[in-house]
Amino acid sequence: MSIASKIQELQNDLPKNVTLVAVSKTKPVSDLQEAYDAGQRVFGENKIQEMAKKWEQLPKDISWHMIGHVQRNKVKYMAKFVNLIHGVDNYKLLKEIDKQAKKHDRVINCLLQIKIAEEDSKFGMSAKDATELLASEAFQQLKNIAIVGVMGMATFTDNLTQVQQEFKHLKVTFDSLQQKQPNITVISMGMSGDYELAISAGSTMVRIGSSIFGARNYQP
């Protein structure tokens, strides 16, 4: 099945309130263009400089999402065009995004990454940390960022009950934060292998790569 066919199938299957982020990391511009021609407008990358190169070459109505772990010293490379940063897990990173956004007279939308998986390799803050951050005076000073939701990555396991529990934990965290911050409307959870489970748990944004583009093209 072609990339275009997979995009159209997913767009038809997903509920209307769920945004499809086509995860295009390691993929050539030609693959992204094919997805774009099929109507896809939201793309997710996990390396800032790779995303910046693709932004230069592709149509400017694409919404670019940074879905990987963000290094503060690289925020400047995407500040003028990125639409949503998924993996914000500390105040220092938020402060840097705010600083770089201000240089371009922009407000950059961000998601707080909540740690829901048991794996040590997964990044993220606790629900308590997120609550305290949003209530802090330092956070109130940041005028060029907007926290619009939360993001989480489930444990990489075949135990679907565990994955479901982790997704439910993120939904509970989202509900709690939204009571204090009405602008929080996005729950980014679910990937190619578990997005249906994520949607049933309340996800409003799914990050799907291999089901659209095939396996990653990692260089040796």
Residue 90: give its domain's CATH number.
Answer: 3.20.20.10
Asked whether the whole model's pTM tops 0.85, one would answer: yes
Work out the average pLDDT over 117-144. Answer: 90
pLDDT above 60 (res 215):
yes
**Residue 219 covered by a domain:** no
Q: In the predicted model, is pLDDT for residue 220 greater than 60?
A: no
The answer as to whether 173 is a domain residue is yes
What's the whole-number average pLDDT of the chain?
94
Q: What is the pLDDT of residue 147?
A: 97
Which residues touch 134 (CB under 8 Å, ≥6 apart)? 147, 177, 180, 181
DSSP string over 89-154 = -SHHHHHHHHHHHHHTT--EEEEEEB--SS-TT---B-HHHHHHHHHSHHHHT--SEEEEEEE---
Q: Which distant-in-sequence residues (6+ apart) come within 8 Å of 152 by Cβ?
A: 113, 114, 115, 116, 117, 124, 166, 167, 169, 170, 188, 189
Domain encompassing residue 89: 3-213
Lowest mean pLDDT among 24-33, 71-80, 194-203, 207-216: 207-216
- Domain membership flag for residue 26: yes
Does residue 192 lie within any of the structural domains?
yes
The stretch 134-154 carries a mean pLDDT of: 96
Looking at the structure of the chain, the number of domains it has is: 1
**Is the residue at 58 inside a domain?**
yes
Handedness of CA 62, 87, 128, 154 (dihedral sign): positive
> Does 191 have pLDDT greater than 50?
yes
Is there a domain that residue 35 lies in? yes
Question: For 103-112, how does the pLDDT look when each residue is reduced to its tens digit (9 = 90+)?
Answer: 999 999 999 9
On whether residue 218 sits in a domain, the answer given is no
- Is the model more confident about 181 or about 149? 149
For residue 170, pLDDT over 90 is answered with yes
Mean pLDDT, residues 190-205: 95
Phi, psi (deg, nearest 5) at residue 8? -65, -40
